[in-house]
């Protein structure tokens, strides 16, 4: 009851605040258009935003440890989130500043018109790519190397159960989490990239072919894709992986290759849909008709006339699709049929360390263990999406 | 009498590449109650921008930087949103170019009609509905009692444009802004809409700003005309003075566009083999026949204009000739040799001989290829030229279409103006070294001055290279200037054909006569005379329907 009362009181205060804000604004600025034409909803939004900001600052400076001696986990995680956000923003800003002054005229121009989110996304992707390529050189230990101590807490502070030799701690059988994260980038991201490329090659070429030729081929391919799309993708992948694991044993081919093929097949159906839709809107253009009447062959039509015009939506889709593939691999690994141990993989790492999340209330640093790999997945997904959003925005010619 | 609308020193800027660039550089405008002002100029002259600014509105990314817009004593530039809401729709209304895009497709016409009056508290919904039916009747829409209960897609373009005018009238505004309301319509539809608009504006003594690029249309509608060029006023005077004695050179050049005419050619010698011969072509989309027994010849070095309204089968005929739509019956021969009906069965040389230029240069050129690639491809594909030879040939072609090769070779189509794009389309057709070119409405998307340039270029090329043209158009002024022979089509049937001189002098077939009489002339009395002569129910589509 008191919760509802509290909510009602806060809401009433905010509504009153919004009214006062607008009236005061009109009086102070002598009826400037911004305040004169401001709706009540807009004023409420400003006041609400200000109230949340005040609360966030107050919460940030709450003590880390409660009077009872138990750590205040909420505050600890909130501080990390705020600090992480500020570091990311500053890094993105510096990176953009660098891009505006270094590089060719073309890239400098690109960076000048780039929003901060996109430069953050590009920075994240570059770091991941670098880490993935040079994993062997960067990682302090091997990915399967079992070290002395198990369950060392992240942070490297011996007083809290950490060890400076393992800055992010070790897992339950004593492997260095930092090294495994770095190798995980290589395995998970690398495999996801190959899989996405394959999905685009299959789906893209079949989609354009269907759009150009139409008729029975289009019907055949499209209905086939409909059937594949009708089956929930994760369950379908699990089913095929189960079959493949038998074959993999029999034929001696690594299961990972089957996984790449299976996910590529499932995702190519989505790419096919997009490529066909985009292709269909291009095929009706007069320049395609002109090329057909010139007597051009199918290959020229698809790769020289249609593809360059479909590049923008396909690239944007590539970014999104990459995230989905990546999450699918992580999900399969989490379920135990994806990338096989002892290879490091972020999905497996989350699964293995998942129980530690229960310690969050009284030992925030210990609970971080599964979140590190999950955070690595989330960060890349967010980064890629920022870049994709920006590219879509650029190619669609939308004004902000 | 005081002014209803006064615009003083209006300056408008648009945002591009992070900076504000001027669009309108200080235009003055005055409008009294019941007066109609025509705003004319090429695209990019700022006509629509001024029209919108007269309502105190600008598009996104555009701002009024200086000057004042005063409507009946209210300063619209600095008015509050609430004040403007009370005026727009109620006292100032707007009729857009594309009624189809401006109506909400999910609601019935009458529901959209009553929205304004009910919102503004001018009248109740039922009263407004009755009034709507009355307006539909005044605008001579068919079935005025029922047409309001249809959805926008269930009525024709001309009817929709009139329904929109009725909607603008629903609150009996003092000022209406018409932004090219008839530009997208056929001549016979246009004339009906023009007559309706004028009648209703006169009846309610409404002031109007009429925006168009068609001089003949503005001559019928406006009391005074203002000519604009790239955001500047060229001149303004009342309609008759403006038409008979324009002062500025630019205005004179606009007027002179209609003078372009080609000399008569000698008659085709008997027994000459036509370049293209269409014999008894019947074609269908699906099961419905859209062309019925179409036959005509095109001789070497001649231009045959195919004229008709939209839906008459002009473009379908072109698709049959090119082989994109194989006819159900009939044959098409080239230089006396019968061609396979499907383009896929034609040889490369047969394809090369007949080329096509499209109406919309925007969709006819691949936006991701440079001009050099676009023109170079047919040069390479048919002529087998590579490297520098190819480059030289492309330069030669660019010279022919009067574009500087070094400047344009590496540009993308988006970096060209509409007229330049159309020239590139011509060069691509020429690159195949054809004998015969189909020109499908090549000038209808262009401003008059630019269109005239294209027509002159096509005429020069014909004289130099001995090309034959099939010129598809609905604009009879274009036909007069460029054609040697004329084919008139209606509902997929050739109604009349013959040499131009015969076609433009009586006696005509009734349909040809109607088409010819519906083309607006520069005489301000033309519409009055026509209405007097024929009566309101015997013009335009109404007359077509009676045939």
Q: What is the pLDDT of residues A104-134, one digit of tens each?
A: 887 888 888 888 899 999 999 999 989 888 8
What Cα–Cα distance (Å) separates residue B179 from each residue in B104, B223, B374?
18, 17, 35
CA–CA gap between residue B301 and residue B279 (Å, rounded): 20
Query: Are residues A305 and B366, on separate chains, in Cβ contact within 8 Å?
Result: yes
Burial (CB < 10 A; 0-12, 13-18, 19+), residue B395, is: middle
CA–CA gap between residue B296 and residue B349 (Å, rounded): 23
Q: Which residues of A touch B368 (CB under 8 A)?
A: 308-309, 311
Query: Are residues B432 and A296, on separate chains, in Cβ contact within 8 Å?
Result: no
Q: What is the dihedral of CA B424, B428, B429, B432, to 10 degrees?
A: 150
Q: Residue A398: what pLDDT? A: 45
Statement to judge: residues B323 and B231 lie in one domain: no
Overall size of chain A counted in residues? 400
Q: Is the pLDDT of residue B540 over 70?
A: no
Count of domains forming chain B: 2
Contacts of B237-245 spanning 24+ positions with Cβ under 8 A:
B239/B38, B239/B524, B240/B524, B243/B215, B243/B219, B243/B522, B243/B523, B243/B524
Pairing of strands B329-334, B276-285: antiparallel
CA–CA gap between residue B100 and residue B383 (Å, rounded): 45
- Which of A33, A287, A292 is nearest residue B364 as measured by Cβ atoms? A287
Closest Cα to residue B541, out of B504, B502, B514, B508?
B514
Q: What is the pLDDT of residues A333-369, one digit of tens each?
A: 888 887 877 788 887 888 788 888 887 777 777 778 7
Q: Which residues contact A333 (CB under 8 A, 6 or more apart)?
A: A188, A339, A345, A346, A347, A348, A351
Q: What is the pLDDT of residues B7-16, one digit of tens each?
A: 888 888 887 7
Statement to judge: residues B431 and B312 lie in one domain: yes
Q: Which residues contact A332 (CB under 8 A, 6 or more apart)?
A: A237, A238, A241, A259, A263, A338, A339, A347
Statement to judge: residues B322 and B427 lie in one domain: yes
ipTM over the 0.90 cut-off: no
Distance from CA of A27 to the nearest CA of B (A): 16
Statement to judge: residues B294 and B203 lie in one domain: no
Q: What percent of chain A shows pLDDT beyond 90?
A: 24
The answer to whether the CB of B439 falls within 8 A of the CB of B358 is no
Distance from CA of B389 to the nearest CA of A (A): 20
Statement to judge: residues B210 and B112 lie in one domain: yes
Statement to judge: residues B306 and B377 lie in one domain: yes
Q: Which residues of B touch A299 (CB under 8 A)?
A: none
Q: What is the pLDDT of residues B131-156, one digit of tens each?
A: 888 888 877 777 888 888 888 887 77
Instruction: Report yes or no on B15 lying in a domain.
Output: no
Q: Which residues contact B4 (CB under 8 A, 6 or more apart)?
A: B31, B32, B33, B35, B71, B72, B174, B175, B207
The answer to whether the CB of B163 falls within 8 A of the CB of B149 is no
Mutation choice for B interface testing from A293, A306, A315 by most B CBs within 10 A: A293
Instruction: Report yes or no on B51 lying in a domain.
Output: yes
In three-state secondary structure terms, B181 is: coil
Give the Cβ contact number of residue A285 at 10 Å: 21
Query: Are residues A36 and B80, on separate chains, in Cβ contact within 8 Å?
Result: yes
Q: What is the pLDDT of residues B62-85, one digit of tens each?
A: 888 888 888 887 887 877 888 888
- Which of A33, A286, A305 is nearest residue B358 as measured by Cβ atoms? A286
B380-392: average pLDDT: 87
Q: Which residues of B touch A311 (CB under 8 A)?
A: 368
Query: Are residues A399 and B365, on separate chains, in Cβ contact within 8 Å?
Result: no
Question: pLDDT band for position A159 (50/70/90)?
Answer: low
Domain housing B191: 34-56+85-254
Query: Which residues of A lie inside 8 Å of B (Cβ-Cβ)?
Result: 33, 36-37, 285-287, 289-290, 292-296, 305, 308-309, 311, 399
Statement to judge: residues B326 and B247 lie in one domain: no
Query: Are residues B363 and A287, on separate chains, in Cβ contact within 8 Å?
Result: yes
Buried b / exposed e along B146-163 (16+ C-beta atoms within 10 A): ebbebebeebebbbbbbb
Q: Which residues of B touch A286 (CB under 8 A)?
A: 358, 360, 363-364
DSSP code, position A159: G
Instruction: Report yes or no on B500 lying in a domain.
Output: yes
Instruction: Report yes or no on B511 lying in a domain.
Output: no
Q: pTM for this one?
A: 0.75
Compare B545 and A206 and report the one with higher pLDDT.
Answer: A206
Statement to judge: residues B198 and B280 lie in one domain: no
Query: Are residues A308 and B381, on separate chains, in Cβ contact within 8 Å?
Result: no
Instruction: Report yes or no on B536 lying in a domain.
Output: no
Query: Are residues A285 and B348, on separate chains, in Cβ contact within 8 Å?
Result: no
Pairing of strands B62-71, B74-75: antiparallel
Statement to judge: residues B231 and B285 lie in one domain: no
Q: Residue A399: what pLDDT? A: 39
Statement to judge: residues B227 and B339 lie in one domain: no
Helix spans in B432-537 (H):
448-465, 476-482, 500-503, 510-518, 526-534
Q: How many CB pairs under 8 A join A and B?
A: 54
Q: What is the CATH number of the domain that holds B178?
A: 3.40.50.300
Q: What is the pLDDT of residues A307-336, one digit of tens each?
A: 888 888 888 888 888 888 888 888 888 888
Statement to judge: residues B121 and B191 lie in one domain: yes
Helix axes B187-203, B125-138, angle to 10 degrees: 120
Q: Residue A195: what pLDDT? A: 93
Closest Cα to residue B433, out of B320, B348, B372?
B348
- What are the structure tokens assigned to B216, written together? 């003949």
Q: Residue B1: what pLDDT? A: 54
Q: Which residues contact A37 (CB under 8 A, 6 or more apart)?
A: B80, B81, B82
B245-274: average pLDDT: 74
Question: pLDDT band for position A226 (50/70/90)?
Answer: very high
Q: Which residues of A touch B82 (CB under 8 A)?
A: 37
CA–CA gap between residue A337 and residue A234 (Å, rounded): 12
Query: Are residues B356 and A293, on separate chains, in Cβ contact within 8 Å?
Result: yes
């Amino acid at each position: 009851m008191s919760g509802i009362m509290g909510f009602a009181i806060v809401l009433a205060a905010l509504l009153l605040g919004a009214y006062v804000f607008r009236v005061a604004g009109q009086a102070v600025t002598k009826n400037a258009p911004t305040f004169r034409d401001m709706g009540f909803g807009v004023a409420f939004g400003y006041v609400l935003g200000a109230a949340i900001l005040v609360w966030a600052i107050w919460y940030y400076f709450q003590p880390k440890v409660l009077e009872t001696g138990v750590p205040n986990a909420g505050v600890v995680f909130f501080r990390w989130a705020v600090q992480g956000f500020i570091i990311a923003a500053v890094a993105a800003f510096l990176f953009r500043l660098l891009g505006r002054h270094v590089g060719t005229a073309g890239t400098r121009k690109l960076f000048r018109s780039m929003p901060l989110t996109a430069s953050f996304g590009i920075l994240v992707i570059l770091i991941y790519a670098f880490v993935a390529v040079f994993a062997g050189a960067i990682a302090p230990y091997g990915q399967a190397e079992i070290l002395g101590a198990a369950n060392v807490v992240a942070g490297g502070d011996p007083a809290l159960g950490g060890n400076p030799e393992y800055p992010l701690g070790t897992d339950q059988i004593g492997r260095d989490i930092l090294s495994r994260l770095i190798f995980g980038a290589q395995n998970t991201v690398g495999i996801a990239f190959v899989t996405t490329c394959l999905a685009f090659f299959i789906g893209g070429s079949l989609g354009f072919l269907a759009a150009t030729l139409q008729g029975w081929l289009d019907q055949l391919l499209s209905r086939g894709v409909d059937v594949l799309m009708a089956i929930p993708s994760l369950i379908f992948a699990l089913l095929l992986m189960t079959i493949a694991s038998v074959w993999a044993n029999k034929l001696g081919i690594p299961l990972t290759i089957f996984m790449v093929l299976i996910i590529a097949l499932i995702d190519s159906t989505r790419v096919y849909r997009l490529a066909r839709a985009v292709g269909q809107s291009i095929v009706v253009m007069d320049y395609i008709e002109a090329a057909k009447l010139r007597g051009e062959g199918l290959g020229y039509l698809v790769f020289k006339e249609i593809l360059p015009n479909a590049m923008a939506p396909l690239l944007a889709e590539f970014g999104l699709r990459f995230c989905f593939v990546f999450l699918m691999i992580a999900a399969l690994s989490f379920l135990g049929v994806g990338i096989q141990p002892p290879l490091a993989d972020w999905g497996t790492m989350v699964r293995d360390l998942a129980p530690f999340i229960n310690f969050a209330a009284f030992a925030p640093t210990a609970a971080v263990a599964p979140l590190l790999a999950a955070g690595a997945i989330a960060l890349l997904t967010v980064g890629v999406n920022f870049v994709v959003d920006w590219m879509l925005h650029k190619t669609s010619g939308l004004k902000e | 009498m005081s002014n209803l609308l006064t615009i003083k020193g209006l300056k408008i800027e648009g945002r591009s590449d992070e900076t504000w660039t001027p669009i309108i550089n200080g235009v003055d405008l005055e409008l009294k109650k019941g007066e109609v002002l025509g705003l004319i100029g090429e695209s990019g002259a700022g006509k629509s921008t001024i029209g919108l600014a007269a309502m105190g509105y600008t598009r996104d990314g555009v701002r009024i930087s200086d000057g004042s817009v005063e409507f009946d004593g209210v300063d619209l530039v600095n008015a509050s949103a609430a004040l403007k809401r009370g005026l727009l729709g109620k006292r100032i209304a707007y009729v857009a170019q594309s009624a189809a895009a401006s109506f909400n497709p999910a609601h019935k016409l009458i529901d959209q009609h009553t929205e304004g009056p009910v919102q503004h508290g001018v009248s109740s919904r039922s009263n407004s509905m009755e009034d709507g039916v009355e307006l539909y009747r005044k605008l001579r829409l068919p079935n005025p009692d029922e047409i309001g209960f249809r959805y926008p897609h269930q009525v024709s373009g001309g009817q929709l444009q009139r329904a929109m005018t009725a909607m603008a009238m629903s609150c009996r505004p003092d000022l209406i802004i018409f932004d090219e309301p008839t530009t997208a319509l056929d001549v016979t539809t246009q004339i009906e809409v023009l007559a309706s608009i004028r009648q209703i504006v006169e009846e309610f003594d409404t002031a109007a700003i009429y925006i168009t690029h068609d001089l003949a249309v503005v001559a019928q509608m406006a009391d005074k005309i203002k000519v604009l060029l790239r955001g500047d006023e060229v001149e303004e005077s009342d309609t008759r003075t403006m038409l008979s004695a324009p002062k500025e050179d630019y205005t004179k050049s606009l007027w002179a566009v209609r003078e372009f005419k080609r000399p008569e050619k000698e008659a085709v010698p008997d027994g000459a083999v036509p370049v293209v011969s269409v014999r008894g072509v019947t074609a269908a989309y699906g099961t419905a026949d859209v062309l019925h027994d179409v036959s005509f010849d095109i001789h070497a070095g001649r231009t045959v204009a195919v004229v008709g309204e939209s839906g008459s089968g002009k473009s379908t005929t072109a698709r049959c000739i090119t082989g994109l739509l194989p006819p159900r019956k009939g044959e098409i021969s080239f230089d006396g040799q019968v061609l396979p009906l499907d383009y896929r069965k034609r040889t490369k040389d047969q394809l090369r001989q007949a080329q096509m230029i499209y109406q919309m240069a925007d969709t006819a050129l691949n936006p991701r290829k440079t001009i050099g690639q676009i023109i170079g491809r047919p040069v390479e594909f048919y002529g087998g030229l590579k490297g520098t030879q190819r480059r030289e040939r492309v330069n030669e072609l660019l010279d022919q279409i009067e574009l500087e090769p070094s400047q344009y070779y590496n540009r993308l189509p988006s970096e060209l103006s509409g007229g330049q794009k159309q020239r590139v389309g011509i060069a691509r057709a020429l690159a195949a070294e054809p004998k015969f070119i189909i020109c499908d409405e090549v000038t209808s998307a262009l401003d008059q001055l630019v269109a005239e340039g294209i027509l002159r270029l096509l005429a020069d090329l014909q004289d130099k290279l001995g090309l034959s043209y099939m010129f598809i158009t609905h604009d009879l002024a274009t036909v007069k200037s460029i054609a040697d022979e004329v084919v008139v089509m209606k509902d997929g049937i050739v109604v009349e054909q013959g040499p131009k001189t015969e076609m433009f002098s009586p006696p005509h077939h009734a349909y040809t006569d109607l088409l010819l009489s519906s083309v607006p002339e520069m005489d301000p009395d033309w519409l009055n005379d026509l209405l007097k002569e024929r009566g309101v129910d015997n013009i335009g589509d109404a007359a077509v329907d009676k045939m």
